[in-house]
Each structure stands twice: as structure tokens, then as C-alpha cells.
């Protein structure tokens, strides 16, 4: 009744406007604009009811008015709307012509927002014609225009259309990545029609990849959203998808139930469409519907045949089983001979296992030696890269060079982190990481970590909230370094994947037995989230959310693998709960020994600077065979006002120490002739007091005992941090040891 009143009102308005125009002799532009908008609104209502030909007639009237008043923006929009109606009545060639006219006008007047809508619709039409590459090209252009116009809310429809094309091409990985993007955007902008469609398409992908449980979960979730919002096309697609999934898993009862619902709804939709189409189109749809009915009858016949075949197979298997049992009974007398042969086989297999074990141990040693060699060869030139970059930044570079140098420094630091992560993964896998318990304040430790990462969070406009359970003790004995590394990795990940959001860090008690507390740590964010499928492999080495995630956010995928390994060493457990587009929660539980609070020695608040020492009589010997590294180390020492001599082999190092008094020796390890280890052993024969630092790129823990045995005072790993280097030199030259908390 309300629609009838609306039409009466529109007709009266048009009549009044017509009379007014005739009385004036000319038509007023504002009145024509109003008539144009009324035609467009009426066309939309008729299209929603399925009355496509009336809708197109009203759009043609609107187009004439737009041309008369010279409104080119409306002309482009109306051509696109006409194309949409033409595509609905199966006139793709006419639709493409209309879209071509629309895009020419929109390009002329630079109406890029509506041009993107035109491109998107054209992609859909080419996809329906199985011209998939052209379709993908138009979708890409549409997405680019929407991004340029900052219309992110329209992109979900485009990525959904792209996913459907990839699904038709059976490129399931690309389809899944585009569907994940669609789900995130549609949830963000409450686009339920797109969300339900995307979930149903995702179910088809999972079904094709033989993941039945995820396929059913996604299809049901999409169908429920469609039912709640009365999206008939999505409901119909959901019924068909569920039927196909159940049929693939031989659940014919549920498959039949959903195909029945699909056919009933299809019947209703086809009836509505048939009533509103031209006569020849109506006949075409009747034939298509009959074909659908015939296909359903064939499906039912196939199901009956399948059940009959199942009965036949069961009978055959029963007969075969009886025959086999009979043969086994007749073969019992051979049991002793079989047992003897089995024992011989087991002995042979045992010998093979011993050989395999020896090979595995040899492979492990080879791997360790390989890592030692490769990391040394990487860290040595990396020392030159980071050292030279730092020098250039300190030497007042030109303004346009600063950014390049900072980028180079960032790349060097990133490569060093990557190398260190690989080494730590190797140590964890080789069970060479040991617990180093010490007294510490847990609450203060977490506060310091949050403070250290707060600038990164601010850069992403993200707030960090910290909650330490009331009444929970603060002081414990445990490996605070490993706990810190776990928290830094998890909190750093949360910051990286959360923009304009919030992160919550919570610590609580699960239980306690005597003085051993079982603690729960939660790091929760409302960032981009992780898909259900990817969650199962998140703690594997080199694993991240997807290729797109890797490209956009960076990272090697080693952090969570290290976290899992460290938590296993700490005798704990870690869990992940996440939903795509809504955020993630990492929860880990570890036991910690409570210890009563005691006074912690405080670091001397007065900064200790090497420049405060009298360096006039201090001499350093640098033993290094690499010419570039010689230059870098010498320049670093000279900037600290320290005089140094440089030699490039172990023999010269021993002779120099015999002939000259040095305060500190910086000894490289791998050199031609005798190594730094052998040179240090020779020096210790006649000088046991001289401070000798191993300045080396060797980092594997199983090599460290060799340095102690050779007589080194300490190790400085290349590339080193400037502040660590200065601290060690200060202690050596001043004779003091700084007390650490």
C-alpha cells in the first residue's frame, strides 16, 4: 500500500511540474533535476522488485533529462545503472556498450569514484563471459581508483569479485587471500551482504582443499548472516554450497535436505524473474528451470545407485573377509618360521637405525660447522657495513644523503637480527639452551619492556594497557632474560599488526604449590587478526599470516618459533586465540619460584664515560687481517682519543706484545698463519695480566669454551654496539667492574 501511495505522489508531482513548465514556456533546470532524481529512484524500486524493463525505461527517461540539462556526472552514473539492468536480463553486449559510454564520460570529467564502480561492474560482466584475465584487469583498475579516492569501504566488493574469478580458475591460494581481505573490510564497515557471500565462497575454497570441517563452519556462518538479513541470493548459494560439501563427504541425508531447500528457493526466484522478463527471456528461464529439475532427478538416482553399490561392496568385502580368515587358519603351522624371519628382519632394521643415527649426528655436526662458517662470513662484512655507515652519519653528510645512510643502517641491523634469530633457532633445536635462574622483580621487568616499546606503539597510534593482578607477588627467581625475550617478541608483534588500536598486557595467577607459582601472561590486541587455517602453523619457523602480510609488515617469521622454543625450555605452554579482522590473544603459562623481596644493588647513577680517563699513555693493539675492518676499528678508537697499533696476523701480535707494553689487545680469531686462539695461548705463557678481548664474528655457544681455555678475558662479537664496546674498554682501562642489577 505504501508503494502505491508513493507512485501516486510521483505521478502528481510530475503532472504539476509538466503544467508549470508549459505555463512558463520553458522548463526550469531545478525542476528538471527533480524529475531526473524521481526517475532514478523509481528505477531503483522497480529493479529491487525484479521489474527490470520498467526500471530500464525510467533510467532512459532520466538519461534524456541529464543530457538536456548538461549534467555529465549523472549521465555517467545512469549509463552504469542501465548496464547493471542489462546484465540482469542477460544482455551482456548491450551492458558493455553502456559501460563504455559511462567510462568515457567519467574519464572526461575526472569522476574517478564512479569510474571505479563502472570498472568493477565491467569486471563482473567479463567474468560471467569467462573472460577472466580481462575481468581481473578491470577489478585491479577499480581497486586502484577506490584507493586513490580513499573509498576503502567500496574495496570489499571488488576483492570479493576477484576471489570469485580465482575460484573459477582453481587458484585457491589467491582466492583465499582475497577473501580474507574481503572479510576484514566487510566486518569493518558492517557490510553483511558482502560478508555472508565471502564466507560462503571461502567454504567452497576449503571444500576444494579437502578441509571439510572449515568448509562447513564457514558456509554455516555465511548462511546464518544471510538468513538474518534476508539476502535471498546468498541464502540460495549457501544452501547449494552446503549440499555440495555434504555430498562430497558422503553425508547424503544432509546433502539432500539442503539441495531441496535450494531448489525451492530457486523456484521462487526464477518465478519472480520470469514474470518480469520479456516473453522470449521467460521461455529461456523455463527451459533452464526444467534442466535444473532434471539434474536434481539425476542426483537422486545417483544417490540410490550409490547406496545400492555400497550394499554390493559390503557383501563382497564380507565374502573376502571370510576367505582371508580361512586362509589364515590354514597358515598357522608356518608361525614359527615367520617369527624367525621377523626376528632376523628386526635385527637388520636395528643395525640400519644405528647407522642412520650416526649419519644424523654427523649431519648435525656438519650443520653446526656450516652455521659457524656462514655466520662468521656474514658478520665480518656486516661489521664493515654497519661501522662505515655509522661513521658516515657522524661525519656531517649532506642532507639528501642522510636518509640513504639511515636506510643502509636499518638494513644492516635487520640482517644482524636475522642472523642472530637463525643462530638461536639452531641452539634451541640442538637443545643447547640452558636455564639461567636469578632473582628479579617481574612487575618492574614488564613495565621496563612496555616503556622500551612505547615509542613504536605511539608510531602506530596504539595504546598499551598493563594489568598486574592485585595481591600477586612481584619478586621471583627465574630466567628473566628468556622471559623478557618472549614478552618482547609477543608485544612487538602485537604493535606491528595493530594500528589505531589497543593492546592489553595482563599477568595473573593460575595456582600455586608451596612457593612455586603458575603464572598466566596474556598479550591481547585488536589488530588485523589471523585466519583459522594459518593459526595451526604460526609457531613454525619462517611462518607468517600470508605472502601479503609478509610484504606489508615485514619480518622473517622466526620470532614466534623462538617464543615457542623458549617457553618449552621454561616448562610452559602457549596458546593462540584469534579472529580475522578482530585481533589476537597470545597466552602463555610458566612456573616461577617465589622469592622474598631483597635489596638489589643499584647501578651507580653517575655515567661512566671513557673520556673521563687519562688516555694519554693508553695503548691498544688491534689484531685483524681484514683491511677494511682494520680501518674501521682504528677510526672508532681514534675518535675515543685512544692510540692503537695494527697487525694483521697472530705471529706479529705475539712479537708486538713482547716488545711493547699494551693496555688492551683486540684479537681477531680467524687469520692466516696461527689463529687468534693460538696467539693468545702463546702470549699467556709470558704475560698473564694483559687484558685480551676476542673481537670476533664467531657466535656459536659450543665454541665459547675454547676462548676461556685460550686465556681471553672477554668476547666482543662483531658487529658490536658502540656503548657495549666503550663499557668493556672503560672497565679494562680503569680497572673497575660495573655492578649490574
What is the residue-wise DSSP string for 298-328?
Answer: HHHHHHHHHHHHHHHHHHHHHHHHHHHHHHH
Cell numbers 527451459 label which residue? 287
When pLDDT is cut at 50, 70 and 90, the band that residue 157 belongs to is very high
Would you say residue 196 has pLDDT above 80?
Answer: yes
Residue among 65, 48, 56 at smallest CA distance from 6: 48
Would you say residue 506 has pLDDT above 90?
Answer: yes
Q: How far is the C-alpha of 160 from the C-alpha of 135, rounded, in Å? A: 13
Are the C-beta atoms of residues 414 and 662 closer than 8 Å to each other? Answer: no
pLDDT in tens, 609-635: 777 787 778 899 999 988 888 888 888
How confident is the prediction for the chain on average, in pLDDT?
A: 80
Q: Which residues contact 311 (CB under 8 A, 6 or more apart)?
A: none
C-alpha cell at 721: 654496539
When pLDDT is cut at 50, 70 and 90, the band that residue 741 belongs to is very low
- Do you know the residue count of the chain? 741
Q: How far is the C-alpha of 505 from the C-alpha of 524, rounded, in Å? A: 7
Higher pLDDT pick, 603 / 335? 335
Would you say residue 357 has pLDDT above 90?
Answer: no
C-alpha cell at 380: 665480518
C-alpha cell at 119: 570498472
Q: How far is the C-alpha of 671 from the C-alpha of 679, rounded, in Å? A: 10
Q: What is the CA radius of gyration of the chain?
A: 37
Would you say residue 552 has pLDDT above 70?
Answer: no
| Mean predicted confidence (pLDDT) in 153-179 | 93
Residue among 641, 669, 645, 667 at smallest CA distance from 656: 645
Long-range contacts of 197-202 (CB under 8 A, 24+ apart): 197/160, 197/222, 197/226, 197/231, 197/234, 197/237, 198/156, 198/160, 198/163, 198/222, 199/225, 200/226, 200/234, 200/237, 200/238, 200/241, 201/160, 201/163, 201/164, 201/167, 201/175, 202/176
Would you say residue 154 has pLDDT above 60?
Answer: yes
Work out the number of other CB atoms within 10 angstroms of the CB of residue 486. Answer: 24
pTM above 0.85, yes or no: no
Q: How far is the C-alpha of 682 from the C-alpha of 687, rounded, in Å? A: 9
Q: Which residues contact 671 (CB under 8 A, 6 or more apart)?
A: 623, 624, 625, 648, 649, 650
When pLDDT is cut at 50, 70 and 90, the band that residue 289 belongs to is very low
The SS3 call for residue 476 is: strand
When pLDDT is cut at 50, 70 and 90, the band that residue 50 belongs to is confident
Would you say residue 192 has pLDDT above 90?
Answer: yes
Q: How far is the C-alpha of 612 from the C-alpha of 737, rounded, in Å? A: 16
Q: How far is the C-alpha of 607 from the C-alpha of 602, rounded, in Å? A: 13
The SS3 call for residue 646 is: strand
Q: How far is the C-alpha of 256 from the C-alpha of 258, rounded, in Å? A: 6
Q: How far is the C-alpha of 384 from the C-alpha of 388, rounded, in Å? A: 6
pLDDT, position 285? 45
| Mean predicted confidence (pLDDT) in 522-543 | 79
Residue among 629, 665, 626 at smallest CA distance from 645: 665
pLDDT, position 280? 46
Q: What is the dihedral of CA 720, 726, 732, 735, to 10 degrees?
A: -150
How many Å separate Cα 260 from the centre of its chain? 40
pLDDT, position 607? 43
Domains and CATH numbers, the chain: 27-205+222-232+266-282 (1.25.40.10), 343-429 (1.10.287), 438-594 (3.30.565.10), 615-734 (3.40.50.2300)
The SS3 call for residue 502 is: strand
pLDDT, position 21? 45
Higher pLDDT pick, 653 / 414? 653
DSSP code per residue over 526-581: -SS---HHHHTTTTSTT--S-HHHHHHH---S-HHHHHHHHHHHTT-EEEEEEETT
C-alpha cell at 338: 615367520
Residue among 74, 71, 101, 73 at smallest CA distance from 86: 101
What's the Cα-to-Cα distance from 459 to each of 57, 402, 454, 516, 559, rounded to whole Å?
54, 21, 9, 39, 21
| Mean predicted confidence (pLDDT) in 131-144 | 92
Q: Which residues contact 291 (CB under 8 A, 6 or more apart)?
A: none
pLDDT in tens, 556-597: 556 788 888 899 999 999 989 988 888 999 999 999 999 886
Identify the DSSP state of 718: S
The SS3 call for residue 501 is: coil
Are the C-beta atoms of residues 464 and 457 closer than 8 Å to each other? Answer: yes
Q: Lowest mean pLDDT of 328-342, 573-587, 716-730, name the range.
A: 328-342
Q: For 297-311, give one letter per residue: b (16+ CB within 10 A) or e.
A: eeeeeeeeeeeeeee
Q: How far is the C-alpha of 649 from the C-alpha of 625, rounded, in Å? A: 6
When pLDDT is cut at 50, 70 and 90, the band that residue 141 belongs to is very high
Give just the sign of the alpha carbon dihedral 257, 260, 266, 271.
Answer: negative
Q: Which residues contact 33 (CB under 8 A, 6 or more apart)?
A: 65, 69, 71
Residue among 741, 731, 738, 670 at smallest CA distance from 706: 670
Are the C-beta atoms of residues 168 and 127 closer than 8 Å to each other? Answer: yes
Q: Which residues contact 383 (CB under 8 A, 6 or more apart)?
A: 629, 632, 697, 718, 719
Give phi and psi for 431, each to the nearest 5.
55, 40
What's the Cα-to-Cα distance from 28 to each of 19, 62, 65, rounded to whole Å?
12, 16, 12
Would you say residue 402 has pLDDT above 90?
Answer: no
| Mean predicted confidence (pLDDT) in 479-502 | 90
The SS3 call for residue 367 is: helix
Between CA 632 and CA 638, with CA 633 as vertex, the angle to 5 degrees is 100
The SS3 call for residue 691 is: strand
What's the Cα-to-Cα distance from 277 to each of 113, 272, 282, 561, rounded to whole Å?
32, 9, 6, 60
For the chain, percent helix, then strand, then coil, each to nearest 5? 70, 10, 20
pLDDT in tens, 229-249: 988 889 999 999 999 999 988
When pLDDT is cut at 50, 70 and 90, the band that residue 276 belongs to is low
C-alpha cell at 44: 531503483
Amino acid at each position: 500500500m505504501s508503494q502505491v501511495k508513493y507512485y501516486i505522489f510521483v505521478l502528481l508531482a510530475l503532472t504539476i511540474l509538466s503544467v508549470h513548465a508549459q505555463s512558463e514556456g520553458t522548463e526550469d533546470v531545478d525542476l528538471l533535476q527533480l524529475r531526473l532524481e524521481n526517475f532514478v529512484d523509481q528505477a531503483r524500486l522497480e529493479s529491487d522488485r525484479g521489474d527490470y524493463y520498467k526500471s530500464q525505461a525510467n533510467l532512459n527517461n532520466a538519461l534524456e533529462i541529464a543530457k538536456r540539462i548538461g549534467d555529465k556526472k549523472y549521465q555517467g552514473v545512469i549509463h552504469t545503472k542501465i548496464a547493471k539492468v542489462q546484465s540482469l536480463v542477460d544482455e551482456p553486449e548491450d551492458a558493455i556498450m553502456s559501460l563504455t559510454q559511462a567510462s568515457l564520460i567519467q574519464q572526461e570529467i575526472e569522476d574517478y569514484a564512479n569510474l571505479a564502480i563502472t570498472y568493477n561492474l565491467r569486471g563482473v560482466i567479463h567474468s560471467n563471459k569467462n573472460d577472466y584475465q580481462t575481468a581481473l584487469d578491470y577489478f585491479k583498475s577499480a581497486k586502484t581508483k577506490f584507493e586513490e579516492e580513499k573509498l576503502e569501504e567500496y574495496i570489499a566488493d571488488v576483492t570479493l569479485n576477484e576471489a570469485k574469478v580465482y575460484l573459477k580458475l582453481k587458484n585457491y591460494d589467491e582466492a583465499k587471500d582475497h577473501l580474507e581481505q574481503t572479510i576484514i573490510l566487510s566486518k569493518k564497515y558492517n557490510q553483511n551482504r558482502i560478508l555472508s557471500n565471502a564466507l560462503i565462497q571461502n567454504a567452497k575454497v576449503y571444500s576444494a582443499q579437502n578441509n571439510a570441517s572449515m568448509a562447513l563452519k564457514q558456509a554455516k556462518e555465511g548462511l546464518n548472516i544471510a538468513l538474518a538479513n534476508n539476502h535471498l541470493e546468498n541464502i540460495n548459494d549457501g544452501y547449494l554450497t552446503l549440499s555440495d560439501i555434504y555430498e562430497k563427504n558422503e553425508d547424503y541425508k544432509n546433502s539432500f535436505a539442503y539441495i531441496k531447500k535450494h531448489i525451492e528457493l530457486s523456484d521462487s526466484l526464477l518465478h519472480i524473474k520470469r514474470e518480469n522478463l520479456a516473453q522470449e527471456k521467460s521461455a529461456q528461464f523455463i527451459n533452464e528451470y526444467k534442466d535444473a529439475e532434471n539434474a536434481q532427478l539425476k542426483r537422486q538416482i545417483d544417490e540410490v545407485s550409490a547406496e545400492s553399490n555400497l550394499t554390493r561392496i559390503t557383501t563382497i568385502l564380507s565374502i573376502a573377509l571370510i576367505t582371508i580368515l580361512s586362509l589364515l587358519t590354514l597358515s598357522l603351522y608356518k608361525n614359527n618360521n615367520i617369527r624367525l624371519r621377523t626376528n632376523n628382519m628386526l635385527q637388520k632394521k636395528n643395525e640400519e637405525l644405528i647407522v642412520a643415527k650416526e649419519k644424523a649426528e654427523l649431519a648435525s655436526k656438519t650443520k653446526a660447522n656450516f652455521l659457524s662458517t656462514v655466520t662468521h662470513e656474514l658478520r665480518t662484512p656486516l661489521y664493515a657495513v654497519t661501522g662505515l655507515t655509522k661513521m658516515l652519519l657522524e661525519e656531517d653528510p649532506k642532507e639528501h644523503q642522510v636518509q640513504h645512510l639511515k636506510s643502509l643502517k636499518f638494513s644492516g641491523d635487520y640482517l644482524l637480527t636475522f642472523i642472530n634469530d637463525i643462530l638461536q633457532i639452531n641452539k634451541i633445536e640442538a637443545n643447547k639452551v640452558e636455564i639461567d635462574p636469578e632473582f628479579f622483580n617481574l612487575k618492574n621487568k614488564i613495565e621496563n619492556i612496555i616503556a622500551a616499546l612505547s615509542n613504536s606503539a605511539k608510531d602506530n597510534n596504539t595504546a598499551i594497557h598493563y594489568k598486574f593482578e592485585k595481591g600477586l607477588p612481584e619478586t621471583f627467581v627465574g630466567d628473566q632474560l628468556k622471559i623478557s625475550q618472549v614478552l618482547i617478541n609477543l608485544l612487538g608483534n602485537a604493535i606491528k599488526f595493530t594500528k589505531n588500536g589497543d593492546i592489553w598486557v595482563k599477568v595473573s595467577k593460575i595456582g600455586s604449590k608451596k612457593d612455586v607459582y603458575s603464572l598466566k601472561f596474556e598479550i591481547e590486541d585488536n589488530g588485523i587478526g589471523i585466519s583459522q587455517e594459518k593459526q595451526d602453523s604460526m609457531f613454525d619457523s619462517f611462518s607468517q599470516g600470508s605472502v601479503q602480510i609478509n610484504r606489508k609488515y615485514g619480518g622473517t617469521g622466526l620470532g614466534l618459533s623462538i617464543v615457542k622454543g623458549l617457553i618449552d625450555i621454561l616448562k610452559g605452554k602457549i596458546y593462540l586465540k584469534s579472529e580475522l579482522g578482530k585481533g589476537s590473544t597470545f597466552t602463555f603459562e610458566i612456573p616461577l619460584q617465589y622469592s622474598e623481596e631483597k635489596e638489589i644493588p643499584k647501578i651507580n647513577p653517575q655515567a661512566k664515560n671513557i673520556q673521563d680517563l687519562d688516555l694519554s699513555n693508553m695503548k691498544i693493539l688491534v689484531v685483524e687481517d681484514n683491511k677494511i675492518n682494520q680501518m674501521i676499528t682504528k677510526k672508532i678508537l681514534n675518535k675515543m682519543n685512544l692510540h692503537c697499533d695494527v697487525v694483521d696476523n697472530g705471529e706479529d701480535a705475539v712479537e708486538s706484545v713482547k716488545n711493547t707494553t699494551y693496555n688492551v689487545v683486540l684479537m681477531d680469531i680467524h687469520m692466516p698463519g696461527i689463529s687468534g686462539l693460538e696467539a693468545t695461548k702463546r702470549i699467556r705463557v709470558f704475560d698473564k695480566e694483559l687484558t685480551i678481548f676476542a673481537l670476533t664474528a664467531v657466535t656459536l655457544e659450543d665454541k665459547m669454551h675454547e676462548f676461556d681455555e685460550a686465556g681471553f678475558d672477554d668476547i666482543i662479537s662483531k658487529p658490536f654496539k658502540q656503548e657495549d664496546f666503550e663499557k668493556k674498554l672503560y672497565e679494562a682501562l680503569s680497572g673497575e667492574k660495573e655492578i649490574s642489577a
